[in-house]
Structure 1
Amino acid sequence: MDEDFQIHFAKGENFAMRKFHYHDHYEIYYLFAGERYYYIENRTYYVQKGSMIFIKKNEIHKTIAGGKLHERAVVYFTDRFVDQYHGQHMDMLLSSFMSANRIVELNNLEQNYIENLIFQMNNEYSDRGRQGRSLYCETLLVQLLLFASRKMKETAEAAHIPMHPKISEVIEYCNANFVKSLTMEGVAARFFISPFHFSRLFKRYTGFNFTQYIHTLRIREAQKLLRETPHKVIEIAGQVGYVNIAHFNRKFKQIAMMSPMEYKKMIKSSGIFTTDAAAASGTPSPAAYESPHRPI
């Protein structure tokens, strides 16, 4: 590898590495859409959209065709790229590469956070003349590695806590009806739960409050439409449940950390998404949200 940091995007169908290989740098594989099988040393992982695989240095690995159109990004970096970190900090950053389980599966409320980091990395990496390019890519990579480390730890801890059956029903309902005007009290009543108990249960089992969840579902869909359709921003706002374009723009920026037009420009610069792409999406960490008692 000529540089200490690289990022590459690709899409295709039935594509697989022609042979097993290994290299002296770290690799992070993120799947936007489709499915793959990924062999690392003596284990094969099933990788679906919204999942990351971590391959450490000098491990023999190979992707295997999953039989569907897939879109992915691969991030490579060397020890030199993160050599300012030492001891516990370095151990934490590289913990995902050292784990017995190398895959991180992101739910629908986490994927956009990682995807936005990846798109920002690509945007920065593609402009070789930009001041502070390497430093900015490093800060984005650190955010991704920290998130993955925490996610792996949380996943291991949460494995002993089954999803509450009522909250599972609520999530299914919200996923199908997020474009409607929903309130926490209204949904709680629909499922015969007191608003106070509903709020506590929802937060406990999802990690998000109700209003935050609905907004992120909407913005996730808006990002998908920005990637896959030629529709105008104001049209997309209405399609995902916002009657006020200013409200939509504000929520989009809170969640995606950029405006809808900035997001569309960043997606276009990646060069892999088209209007018929079957891309995946999710959502990032929370910002400020409105009262859960107001219609969203």
Structure 2
Amino acid sequence: MNPLRKHFDPDTPLPIELVLRSTKNLQSELPDHLHDWHEIIYVHSGAGSFFINHSFYEMQAGDLYLVPGNTIHRTFPHSEEPITSSAMFFSGHYIQSSAIGKDAYSFLRCFDLAKSGRNYRIELLPEERARIESIIDEMSEELRMRQPGYRQAVMLLLQTVLLHTNRKMNLGEPRQPPGGSRPLWLQSALDFIDAHLVESISLSALASRAAVSPSYFSRMFKQLTGMNVTEYIIAKRIMHAKELIGGTDHTIAEIANQCGFESLPHFYRMFKKFSGSTPAHYKRIDVRGL
């Protein structure tokens, strides 16, 4: 199953969406998906597994997850105790950085820290849980009533969540390693793919490193990540390409080569498949800051 591109309208006057207290099950949950918007997930109750980028987590009530834009992720709800969660989606360009006087402040710093530290989960204390649940409910009410100034109110509420999240991550609390009973060879394989993304990576080579048969490796990889090996590698390469398109002046051909694609036509086909647009169109949107 290919990763699903969750679509958001870049031209909406309020590039923020809230999914309130949604209960997930195996039938309703999206397959592996990625999107350019950032996402904050708060778990109200239930249990499940969460795969994000290259890490696995056992979800529980009170967890807060930070999903940077352009990141593969998927929830695997437990059948007997499905997850109920709220999710806030928003455009990073819309939040931006703000400055008062000479002090610049990035509301997105928590996402940068999560990505660099390879840890996307924050465990909240009871008082922190009560605060974010109150903010989520207030945001939902603003979106429902749509009174004058509701867009500004929703923005301020989201910035409040990001502010408190940044402060909590700045406390330097010891990070808990991702939970779960996944085989060590799988995490090693995910790390190897990240480190050698532009090189030729075959299923047989990955299986040999893991000391398991290719068929077993393929079956377990799909079962535990929701994607087959080829789909996962291509998706990661496209994610890397999008970062280069938005952050460098390299040509599309140069970026395709730097991301491990042997031909430009293949790169264009895969980019359109995983992103829904051509590289040139994506670059124009990124430049516009939408």
| TM score, norm. by length of structure 2 | 0.49
Structure number with higher relative contact order (C-alpha < 8 Å, ≥ 6 residues apart): 1
| TM score, norm. by length of structure 1 | 0.48
